[in-house]
Amino acid sequence: MGVTMCEAASAAPPGQGVVSRLRGTSAERPEVDAGLAGGLRDWLEDGLSEAVAALPDDGNPVRVTKEAVNQVLVCEAHFVASRDVARPMSIELARGLMVDALFRQWITTGDIADPWEDAVAALAVSSDGAEMTAFLSSLGADARQNLRGELATHLERVTSSWPHPSPSWMARTQERLIVPLAGGQVVLSGVIDLALGTPSSGRASVCIVEVKSGRRRIEHRGDLHLYALLETLRSGAPPFRIATFYTATGELDVEPVGRDALTSALHRVLAAGQRLCRLHSGAEPQRTPNPLCAHCTGLTACPAGQKRVKEAAGA
In a domain, 288, yes or no: no
CA distance 254 to 289: 34
What would the pLDDT profile of 146-205 be if each residue is shown by its tens digit? 999 999 999 999 999 998 778 888 899 999 999 999 999 999 999 999 999 887 768 888
76 with 101, same domain? no
224 with 75, same domain? yes
- Residue 246's region, left for phi above 0, alpha for psi from -120 to 50, else beta, is beta
pLDDT score for 130:
83
CA distances for 119 relative to 35, 129, 155, angstroms: 43, 11, 11
pLDDT score for 15:
55
146 with 247, same domain? no
In a domain, 292, yes or no: no
67 with 188, same domain? yes
27 with 140, same domain? no
In a domain, 234, yes or no: yes
Total domains in the chain come to 2
pLDDT score for 9:
33
Domain of residue 44, CATH code: 3.90.320
129 with 272, same domain? no
> What is the span of the domain harbouring residue 57?
3-85+169-280
- Chunked mean pLDDT (size 10), the chain, 315 residues: 34 58 76 91 97 92 96 94 84 94 93 93 83 92 95 94 83 95 97 88 86 88 95 93 94 92 97 97 94 88 90 77
43 with 72, same domain? yes
In a domain, 51, yes or no: yes
In a domain, 106, yes or no: yes
Strand-pair category, 251-256 with 62-64: unpaired
Residue after which a domain boundary falls, among 129, 161, 193 = 161
pLDDT score for 3:
34
- Mark 235-265 as b/e (b = at least 16 C-beta within 10 Å): bbbbbbbbbbbbbbebbbbbeebeeebbebb
- Which amino acid type is present at position 240? F
